[in-house]
Copies of this chain bind each other. A is one copy, B any other.
Amino acid sequence: MPIVLCLPIKASPPSLQDNSADLDRLKKVACESLGNIPLVIPWRQAGQVARNFRQAGFQGAALINQVEGRSELIDFLPCLPAVLPAMALDLGTTYLEASLIDLLSGKRLAQAHHPNGQIPFGDDVLSRIHVADRGTGLSDLQKAVIASINELSLLLADQAKVEPHHIRAMSVSGNPTMVHLFLGLDPHHMCREPYIPLVNAPDTAQAFELGLAINPAAPVYLLPGVGSYFGGDLISGILASGLDQQEETSMLIDVGTNAEVVLGNRDWLIACAGAAGPALEGGVARMGMRAGPGAIEHISINPKSREVAWQTIEHLPACGLCGSGIIDLVAGLYLAGIIDRRGKFRPGSDPARLIDTEGGFQYVVVAESQAAAGRAVVLEQVDLDALMRSKAAMYAILSTLLSQVGIAFSDLHRIYVAGAFGRHIAPRQAITLGMLPDLPLTVYQPIGNSSLSGAEKVLLEDEARQRCRQIMQKITYIELNVNQEFMLRFSGSKFIPHTNHSLFPSVPVFDW
């Protein structure tokens, strides 16, 4: 059952013999077709519903929001609509991605993305939490993200050729900080031990309350989270991967601005999260960028000739490196002997491209003459260092989590890789760097933006909404911020592929 139900109604007109009131008449007919569940007509909508019901001659379609514990009849249409659009939103720290889903057919009507208008207030969740602590910060942040979402709903409505007020529901999948700021709830305690969010499973709000420019009575469903660093975006990933329904044990990796990992099967789920992401989202490297048009998504370096081949998204002139591009590049640099096992440039290893500048060594990926806007795409030592930290953190997170339940990487049935990272990354290169475990490539399965696909799922199925609550109750969350084992494993992972080379038999080791 979708989150908004479109129920055909055929009531007999009132008469002296059958003089029940308009809304009571409507409610009775609707209740009967719904199997006598509790149904209310909220005061705010009562006048309009009654007017429409009478004007339509007591026949048409009732729109019924499915919210916690009850159904709310919020509108009446003279006939069944052709589509019933609802908006699924992946509420990212950096980017918002959204789609418009038809609740009648389940079809996707439109898809769009937009930068998160909170970026000027700070790049990551921590800096935004600090902004929220000061003066009007919380309200400013909320207004900024609502404005971005309103831009997105305009884009989507435009694409689908509907009006924004035709959008009858919204689902939101985001990390807990983003969800708090979206709701205008104070995130203060989330970054302070013991890291407690104000709410993990917020109840459904209404669009007008939040200032959303869609139908005012649209229910706004928030995917529940588990802890301060484990939000609805990852519950979405579990929903989309089916991790919680399989007999075999698998793993889900979602790399956004943060890295979040879930391990488990239909009987148990364990999860953790850590700061692994910035370098991989293109948010840290000077030439880093999001996986969008003009971003170099794949690079190979010929280990002998040191020639570089690259490919950009949409085959446009290169303007930067996205996460998968950086991983390919660094893996290639290592195999070609241009960087060493510690991730440091080796002076003189590639005179044509490795240039010594005042700010240190720079590797020229794409020369000025070939790059977009005549600006060379380069990689600096500082970018390399950031990537080394990211990849070390990632492997440490994965191995710490496995050690908690006493299983080995080889016991995993699948590793689902979510997010833009998952869509573009070549697991082979990530294995070379020692970022992902050395497993057969068939184990890795990219699942795209699962935060968005989970948000789409909950719009369409109440089973998915129930699964969210079950996952939330079943999952055990490990707090890595205070985990000693994680810190040890992080240090061991700071080499390519690892200090313990036997963990990566498929990766050659060079002794430069």
Task: Tell me the complex Cα distance, A198–B217, Å.
Answer: 20
Point out the residue from B19, B46, B198 that lies within 8 Å of A194, measured CB to CB. B19
**Inter-chain contacts of A205 with B (CB < 8 A):** 42-43
Minimum-distance CB pairs A-B, first 7: A38-B69, A69-B70, A43-B205, A23-B199, A21-B200, A21-B197, A40-B203
**Inter-chain contacts of A123 with B (CB < 8 A):** none
Task: Tell me the complex Cα distance, A227–B202, Å.
Answer: 40
Stretch at the interface among A83-91, A101-109, A178-186, A249-257: A178-186
Is A479 on the interface with B (CB-CB < 8 A)?
Answer: yes
Task: Verify B22–A203 contact, CB threshold 8 A.
Answer: no
Task: Verify B16–A199 contact, CB threshold 8 A.
Answer: no
Task: Tell me the complex Cα distance, A210–B210, Å.
Answer: 19
- A190 (CB) vs chain B CBs: closest residue: B21
Task: Verify B42–A203 contact, CB threshold 8 A.
Answer: yes
Task: Verify B477–A21 contact, CB threshold 8 A.
Answer: no
Known: A20-B200, A22-B199, A38-B69. 13 other contacts (CB 8 A): A16-B193, A16-B194, A19-B228, A22-B198, A23-B198, A23-B199, A24-B200, A43-B203, A43-B210, A46-B185, A47-B185, A47-B198, A50-B199
With A69-B69, A482-B16 given, is the CB distance from A51 to B186 under 8 Å? yes
Task: Verify B70–A209 contact, CB threshold 8 A.
Answer: no
Task: Tell me the complex Cα distance, A439–B372, Å.
Answer: 103
With A196-B22, A200-B20, A479-B16 given, is the CB distance from A69 to B46 under 8 Å? no
Task: Verify A69–B50 contact, CB threshold 8 A.
Answer: no
Point out the residue from B70, B183, B194 that lies within 8 Å of A68, measured CB to CB. B70
Interface residues as binary, A35-55 with B (CB distance below 8 Å gives 1, 0 otherwise): 000111111101100110010
Of residues 216 to 232 in A, which have CB atoms within 8 Å of B's CB atoms?
225, 227-228
Is A201 on the interface with B (CB-CB < 8 A)?
Answer: yes
Task: Tell me the complex Cα distance, A21–B23, Å.
Answer: 39
Task: Verify B16–A46 contact, CB threshold 8 A.
Answer: no
Task: Verify A202–B22 contact, CB threshold 8 A.
Answer: no
Task: Tell me the complex Cα distance, A227–B14, Å.
Answer: 12
Main secondary structure of the interface of A (DSSP, over half): loop
Is A305 on the interface with B (CB-CB < 8 A)?
Answer: no
Task: Verify B185–A50 contact, CB threshold 8 A.
Answer: yes
Is A484 on the interface with B (CB-CB < 8 A)?
Answer: no
Is A15 on the interface with B (CB-CB < 8 A)?
Answer: yes
Task: Tell me the complex Cα distance, A186–B22, Å.
Answer: 11
Of residues 321 to 353 in A, which have CB atoms within 8 Å of B's CB atoms?
none
**Inter-chain contacts of A209 with B (CB < 8 A):** 43-44
How far is the CB of A35 from the nearest CB of chain B, in Å? 14
How far is the CB of A488 from the nearest CB of chain B, in Å? 19
**Inter-chain contacts of A189 with B (CB < 8 A):** 22, 54
How far is the CB of A138 from the nearest CB of chain B, in Å? 9
How far is the CB of A374 from the nearest CB of chain B, in Å? 50
**Inter-chain contacts of A46 with B (CB < 8 A):** 183, 185, 198-199, 202-203
Of residues 374 to 424 in A, which have CB atoms within 8 Å of B's CB atoms?
none
Task: Verify B183–A43 contact, CB threshold 8 A.
Answer: yes
Is A195 on the interface with B (CB-CB < 8 A)?
Answer: yes
